[in-house]
Amino acid sequence: MKRNSKSPLANSLLWKISGKNLTHASYLYGTMHMMCAADFEIKNKVKTALEKCEELVMEFDFTNEDEIAILEEMNSGTIRITDHLNAKEKKEFEKIITGNFDFSVDYADTMPPMVLINIMLLKAIDCDDIKLFETELIAIARQKNIKLGGVESATEQMEIAAKVFDSKEILRQLKSADDFKDMFKEMAYSYKREELEKIGSYINDERFLNQDSKETIVMERNRNWIKRMPAFMKGRSVFFAVGAGHLTGSEGVIHLLRKKGYAVNPVFDRKLK
């Protein structure tokens, strides 16, 4: 049955990829990246699917020492965030940093943009014990001797971040910190219920990502990943773990895979017991 890209997706974070020229089924899993430990869970169906696969492929393989070295080198610049802010914006930046973080304005000013954004997100989650989905998946993969990989490189990630998070966008994100707190609570609730469409709707919220940023950080990356995924899946089973927001919509990974001729179907616990 042909599916319309506008039809709502089933409530599942785990999807089975089959058909076309695949000799083995692969899996696509939507993560939330970070979550309070009290809300965190990797369901049995996810563990079972991962253990069936030969490789765990994330957005970026942060276990690769060469890739990490590239990130550290690219993050070692001395460009200041406030160099591209006007006097009013500089005062806003200083007020936010002073009122919300335990480090100096001068230190924040020289941070790599994504580091500062990630610190803000960690603070917005608002709990002491935070779990990372990728870290937990990696632990399972290592225990089962499953290969690790990434669908994009460290260089690509940094180039994307540089396009999206200029000084003014960083300030805008910092000013939205309270909105992020509310969003994380709502998203954690939807995530536990596997309400994929609702999770995807946050990508379209202008408070967090404008249309230009969405094109660069979501849709453009989705299209690049789709070009690379067939090579990963050739002759073997692969478990792809990417942010859940990348799965939905007409430019989401699920629809783009279907458009290429693959069958992509939701997986429920009973199907993998």
DSSP helix, strand, coil percent of the chain (3-state; round to 5) = 55, 15, 35
CB contact at 8 A, 266 and 45: no
Report residue 45 as tokens: 């169906």
3-state secondary structure of 252: coil
* pTM (predicted TM-score): 0.89
Please give the pLDDT value at position 273. 43
Integer Cα distance of 122 and 116 in angstroms? 10
Please give the pLDDT value at position 77. 55
Angle between helices 167-175 and 177-192 (to 10 degrees): 70
Beta bridge partners of 132: 34
Please give the pLDDT value at position 134. 92
Please give the pLDDT value at position 176. 84
The pLDDT profile of the chain, 273 residues, written as one tens digit per residue, is: 455 556 789 999 999 999 998 999 999 999 998 899 988 999 999 999 999 999 999 998 878 888 777 766 666 555 788 988 999 999 999 999 999 888 899 988 888 777 888 888 888 887 889 998 999 999 999 999 999 999 998 888 888 887 888 888 889 888 887 888 888 888 889 999 999 999 988 877 777 777 888 899 999 999 999 999 999 999 999 999 999 999 999 999 999 999 999 999 999 976 544
Q: 145 exposed, middle or buried (CB, 10 Å; 0-12, 13-18, 19+)?
A: exposed
Q: How does 41-54 read in b/e, with b if 16+ C-beta sit within 10 Å?
A: ebbebbebbbebbe
Sign of CA dihedral 149, 154, 155, 158: positive
